[in-house]
Every structure is written in structure tokens, then in C-alpha cells.
Structure 1
């Protein structure tokens, strides 16, 4: 049996953030990781591999669309080749993250953890042995996995979720993606830009309804322009795997047959068989753990962070949650509150990033706001790069000029958003769009979109 101050379960972003903060605060820390390498689902099955795939395809698409290369030979790339690129990035990430634990003397134990009591973990090791760990405090950061409806046979080689799709050994000619959330839309972009015929089945009446309506409309338009067939308000009735493909029967009586099915409809928290219920910690039907504002569970010495606690289920948020929880764990109090407004990055082609209020939300709240637009086709840098699809949209208060929302669609959207985020998070009166008007931006840059959008918005005021 080993004794530690803190045991962290799960080495994804949330667990890593918690472990590093605790270790640097002088705590003895153990990290329990069920997989054979550190990094969690973010590194091995989620954020890193999908974004690595998308980056290669994005570069290929830029070459195809750049007028300087119109006469060049048509370039193609297979899905397995893309996966090999992703694997090289994953290996680098694993080596780097393992070095964090080594440098900070955090013992990493590979195995599956289960609580014996409120201060004791039993870890089933990969070699068949067991390890007993005792600690004063714990952080649960076990993440999530794709939700599997029991009636669907995910063992069939033509039926995949967002984890197993990364083991696909051929480039499909056609694929049906069931679920048009962030993961579904991102993979629709990836496969369509590989030349695959894509059916995107949405159970709702519009794509990504949490986004600003104008951004959603732009995404839907460009997916269809690329050739993705989007079907709204549909619900699966039956999945019929066959030797040469998969038939998806919908409750609307439609039948869709493609080479593969990617089921991307929901996720499940990784809380199975952890002994949480016996401690009084009751995950909900999707395995999500309830926590308070300091990320404490029903037992104050056990914390939960990352996907296992539900929304917003972002790697970026998980890391900050881990640091926040660890700071509270170490000091018993946390002096500053985590920013509630977290930017969303969606890596479709083109990509999307959004922060804070949408027009719909401001209208419902009767907030007097105005809109400033900057279309990428008007920016010199976008014209030079041949990336003129997209826009930056600023929402601001008509009277105070406070920035209320930022929405970006197009190349580098997830990078561009952070300029506005830095201003939005400033205390009044430094959080207004006048900053963008009075600041000199490098020229030509994509950042110049802020000045253009701010002037456009101010011109609307009467």
C-alpha cells in the first residue's frame, strides 16, 4: 500500500492540470491512468487526432483552392495516411506530457481505479496485479466516451463511433454520420474534403443551435456547398449492418445505405464500476458527476473535473477546472473565479469560434445592442492567403459600447477570437469596441478584422 496526499484519476487535460498544480504546491501526488500512455482521450481519441486530421485536409484544400495552383496536378490523400500523420503528433504529445510527471515527481500508475472506501483506491494493474493507494484527497478526471445505444452493434466493422473511426483502414467512398453536433460536423468536413460522399443526419431542426444564428447559417451553407447532404429533424429507427455497408433506417421511413456509419450522438461519463455509489456520489444516467462551484463532489475531499462533470466538455476548460480544483484542494479557498465565458472552437472547414452572447440571447433579454461585421473577403491578408470565406462579428451595447459577444467563421477563427476575448474580460470601461478603433494593428493581418468590424458597428449607431 502506498500513501499520497492526492491521487488524481485520469491523465487528460483536467487531471494533468490538477496533478501539476498539486505537485508544484508541495503535495505528494499519484496519477492513475487506465490507458497504457498518459494524455487521456483528448490526446489519443479526441481533440489531438481529429484536429491533426483536419489540419492536413485544410492544407490540401488551400492548395486546391489557391488560384496559383489551378494548373497543378490534383492532389489526393487516403484516410489511413492521415491517421499516420495524427499518430506522429500523438507520440510527441505523449512524450511531452510524460515528461511533466517525471519532472514533478508525480508517480504514474497504469491501471483501472476503484474506490474501496472514501480514502482508499484499489488499482487493477495492466499486468494483472493490484495496487492499493491511500490519500487524503482525490480528483476524478476520467473523461467521457461515445455513447453506445444498446441496440446498435458497434463490434461490426462497418459501424463506428468517434473513437473507433480512428482505426479505419481505408478511405470510404460514402459515410453516414448520425448526430450533427460538434463531432459530427467536424467529421463531415473531414470526410467530405477527402472526396467521400457524406450524409449528415441531424436530430434537431438546425445545426449547432447554441451558436449565433448567422454563424449556423453560414456553416450549413458551406457544408452543403462542399457537397454534404444534411438532413434535419430525423431520428434513427434501426441500424442494419451488412457485409458491404450499413443501412440506416429513419423513423421518417427513409433508408440510407453507405459504406460506413459513424454514430456521433452523445457521450457517456467514464464512471462505471468505480465504487462511487457506495460513497454517496451518484452519477446520472449518462455517468456525469455533480459538483459545486469549487468542483467538489458530495464528498468534499473528492473533486471532479473535465468531461466527467458534463458541460462544457472542452479540453481547454478541463485543464482550467483541474487547476481551479487543485488550488481549492491545496488552500481550502480559491481567490479568483474561473471565467464563466469560455470560447468555443469548432474545427469544421471553415472553422468557427464563438464567445459569450448571441443575437438571439441578447434579443430575448431585451439588451440594446448593435452589430459590427468584417467580411474576410475585404481583408488584404485573406486575399493574399486565398482564404476569403468568413467573417468576424462583434456584438456590443449601444450605450456603453461594451463588447457582449464575438463570433468568427473562417480561417484561423479559433486564433482570432482570443484578441477580442482579452478585451471582453477587462473591467469597465476598458471592455469596449473603442479599443479596436484606437489600436494600430499590423497590416496586412487577419487581426485587422477587429478594427473593420468595430468601425462598421459604430457607423450603425444613430
Structure 2
């Protein structure tokens, strides 16, 4: 009888765990994976993918209004939430099916049900009477929404439940100021709900460039989102007609739904990790080294459960690096430096590298900035403005950060991220011929740093 049933047992069927399982199986390992909810993880099931679909849906309200400026006559419009959710559910089911099929094609044994760690080599499956033995265990259970305990907290929903609401609420109070809270503020506002965003900090989107934060907040307010900073929720009372939300100031707001988006925490509760000797951090995160190995040599962890950089593509890279290290004998570290990312607020954000504040703390810099009305809003008569910033080291001339706010920011930052990762200088950007007329050309046409001369501002694409 073999000492181990599998060479690798993966707990968690999200992006990181699935990538690790497939790559390990392709390297010849005997691999099993268990997921207690649905394969695809937070990103596919109730995160990035369904969120982006809802972002697209919410933007049509503005597009219909813009169309008149371009000569189109759009008749009476209406929105049906159940139809959107049904279409979203069908797409998510399709993607989950692909995940499961790909695992099977790679030779991975797939389990549906909760798995917990009993010891460094033993996994208990809720659906099986007998434990499973594995040479290596990989924890990839992701994160879970966090709602603090206060009177009436049980009446709040989270980013897990918002995707499955039976109807679009007429009014929503969203608690939080991070990217999840701000993204849903834009989604629900665009679909027609009255949205109030309550955040205890002085400005939304903590950790991003300060000017970017202010710009997005101003544009969100202009689109109709009420943003209350420096406040928190003290209590929620639920009645037949919705919720009464009492703020810390004593003020009361009424809303059909209260959405708590105050962050996610590592999903390690009840997994048996500490009893097995795995060291956890203050937030419950699995402590790992550069190769994703825990304090127990046979147990590894990747993705949001490690609380390193909670992004799906990063989890995928960590899963691949783990498989390369453990099953191909090629020690590989996932690279967490200069990772580009997008926030699908409205307007959206694309960012890579250091913020202006972070860069100033490290040395002398130059800041190049352009703020302008993009062409797609001119004939529509909207005042929405784009913002672009380059943060440049004064001595090496290397571009330390790129920040974009506006339509297509996520698409632009992917390509800008390549240049920043390669160590491009401001002069490299300058030597690149602009693509005209585009918003992206601003990235290579900003000539004067912010300082003595005022930052250049334009109202439309410059003449050739």
C-alpha cells in the first residue's frame, strides 16, 4: 500500500489552486483538488468576472444619454435586473464548467466538498469517511468578506450576496472606501439605484495616489454617488420597508439594502492549519516564504489566503511558481514587484508602480500630469475629465509610476506596465510616437513637469 494517496492535494478551486493543480499534474504528479463552493474561486464566481459584467451593464445608462450628442435618437429605455443576473449566471456556469473540464483533462481528481488539514500530510474531506494522505498540501482558499460586529450587522449583505439579489434595490448604503465598495457604488448608481457610500477614512481608495483618489471621488459625486467620509455605521435596524442606518454621528439614512464592503480577510477559519503546525499572521493569513512554503515543510499556500497581493493574476503566478519549484525541481519565486492593476470604478483607474507620495518618500522626483476632457465626452456634453500622471526619478529618469483615470484605463495600464517593468525612462516614453487621436497619446506627449509652469490642460485631442 502506497504511503500517500496523492503527491499533491490542493484545498481551494480558485485561480491559484487550479493553476497549481494542473501544472503539477502535467509534470507527472498524482494530484487531487477540493472545493467546497464552486470551481473558479472568488474571481470567476463572485468577484472580478461577474463584477466586470455588471460594470458593462451599468455603463449603458450613460451611453444612451451620450448618444444624442452624436446624432442618435434613443427611445425610452428600461433596465431589468433579473435578466442581467440570469445572463451573468449562465456565463459563470459556462466558465466553471471550463475550469472543471481542464482539471479533468490534466488528470486531476476533482472533489466537491469542504477539505480540512489534519496533520502535515493528511486531509479530511467532509464527503468522505476516510482521510486522504498527500505528500504535499497546497492551501489556496482565498479570502472572505469581513463584516464587523455591531448592532444589526446581520442585516448587511456583502460582495458575495450582492450578485444574487432578486431585485435591484431602489437605494443602497455601501460601507467602505476600498476598490470593492467604490466599484459597486458605480455599478448600482449606473443601474439606477440611489447610492450613499460611507467611509470612516478621510478619502476613498486608501493606498492609491492621492490625486487619483481625489479625482475619482469628484467624478463619482458628479455622477450622483453621495460620498460620506469620516463616518461609520453604528447600527442597522431592519423593517418592512428597508433598513434604517444609524451613522456614528447620530444621523440616520434609510436604504433598501446595506452593502458592507470593508475588505476581505484570509479564509483560514476552521481549516485546522494551526493545529497542524502552520503559522498564521495577525489577520489569519498563512505565513509563507518566497517560495510559498509555510512553517510546515510539506504544506504550501498561494493566493489571497497569504495576504501578499490579492490579485487573481498574482495568485496564478504564485500557483505556477509553486508547481515549478516542487514538481519540476526549478526553484521559482513569484514576482510581486511592479504589478499593474485596474480598479473598475466609474471612471476606472489603471495604475502601476509608485504613487507620487510613495516616490517622494524615496527620493527626488518629477511629476508629469495631464487633465483633459476626452473626445468621447465632448459631443455628449459631459464634463468628465481624464487624469494621467507619470512619476519619474529625477536622477535615473526612470518612470517609477504610471496612473490613469478614465475610459480604457485598465487596457492602457497593461501595456504601460510592460514599459515600467522593463525600466523605461521618461525619454523612452518621449521617443515613442503618439497614436492620434487617442487619450493614450498623453502618456508620450507630456513634456513639462509639474512645477513652475502650470500643468497642461486641454479640452480635446490636440491638433496634429
Q: Equivalent of 2:396, from 394, 397, 400?
A: 400
Kept after mapping to 2: 8 A contact 1:267/1:286: no
Summarize deviations over 1:284-331 as a string: whole Å, max 9, x none: 464321111111111122111111111421112111121122222224
User: What is the count of residue pairs matched by the alignment?
Assistant: 449
Aligned ranges 1:56-67 → 2 under 5 Å: 56-66=57-67, 67=69
Q: CA deviation at 1:382?
A: 7.6
Q: Which residue of 2 aligns with 1:222?
A: 219
Kept after mapping to 2: 8 A contact 1:5/1:28: yes
User: Structure 1 pair 376/94, CA: closer, same or farther in 2 (3 Å)?
Assistant: farther
Kept after mapping to 2: 8 A contact 1:114/1:274: yes
1: CA distance between counterparts of 2:245 and 2:329?
52
User: Structure 1 pair 389/20, CA: closer, same or farther in 2 (3 Å)?
Assistant: farther
1: CA distance between counterparts of 2:250 and 2:451?
51
User: Structure 1 pair 280/97, CA: closer, same or farther in 2 (3 Å)?
Assistant: same
Kept after mapping to 2: 8 A contact 1:9/1:33: yes
Q: CA deviation at 1:384?
A: 8.9
Q: CA deviation at 1:410?
A: 0.6
RMSD of Structure 2 on Structure 1 (CA): 2.5
Q: Equivalent of 1:95, from 79, 94, 97?
A: 97
Summarize deviations over 1:251-293 as a string: whole Å, max 9, x none: 2111111111111113232212221121112434643211111
Matched, 1:414 2:415: no
1: CA distance between counterparts of 2:244 and 2:72?
38
| Gap runs ≥5 in structure 2 | 454-464
Higher mean C-alpha deviation, range 200-209 or range 277-286: 277-286
- 2:113 is paired with a residue whose SS is strand
Q: CA deviation at 1:78?
A: 3.1
Q: TM-score, normalised by structure 1?
A: 0.90
2: CA distance between counterparts of 1:303 and 1:241?
43
Q: CA deviation at 1:155?
A: 5.8
Q: Equivalent of 1:266, from 250, 259, 263?
A: 263
User: Structure 1 pair 86/154, CA: closer, same or farther in 2 (3 Å)?
Assistant: farther
2: CA distance between counterparts of 1:76 and 1:141?
41
Q: CA deviation at 1:184?
A: 0.7
- 2:144 is paired with a residue whose SS is strand
Q: Equivalent of 1:237, from 234, 237, 244?
A: 234
User: Structure 1 pair 239/311, CA: closer, same or farther in 2 (3 Å)?
Assistant: farther
Q: CA deviation at 1:440?
A: 3.5
2: CA distance between counterparts of 1:385 and 1:399?
43
Kept after mapping to 1: 8 A contact 2:17/2:138: yes
Q: TM-score, normalised by structure 2?
A: 0.89
1: CA distance between counterparts of 2:429 and 2:305?
38
- 2:5 is paired with a residue whose SS is strand
Q: Which residue of 1 aligns with 2:460?
A: none
Q: Which residue of 2 aligns with 1:148?
A: 147
Summarize deviations over 1:213-268 as a string: whole Å, max 9, x none: 11111111011101111111112221211121111212211111111111111323
- 1:279 is paired with a residue whose SS is coil
2: CA distance between counterparts of 1:292 and 1:224?
43
Kept after mapping to 2: 8 A contact 1:370/1:396: yes
Higher mean C-alpha deviation, range 311-320 or range 175-184: 311-320
Summarize deviations over 1:392-421 as a string: whole Å, max 9, x none: 211112232211101010111111012221
2: CA distance between counterparts of 1:186 and 1:131?
44
Q: Which residue of 1 aligns with 2:456?
A: none
User: Structure 1 pair 386/352, CA: closer, same or farther in 2 (3 Å)?
Assistant: farther
Q: CA deviation at 1:34?
A: 0.8
2: CA distance between counterparts of 1:386 and 1:340?
40
- 2:433 is paired with a residue whose SS is coil
Kept after mapping to 2: 8 A contact 1:63/1:69: no
2: CA distance between counterparts of 1:250 and 1:381?
39
Q: Which residue of 2 aligns with 1:133?
A: 132
Q: Which residue of 2 aligns with 1:53?
A: 54
2: CA distance between counterparts of 1:250 and 1:383?
39
- 1:57 is paired with a residue whose SS is helix
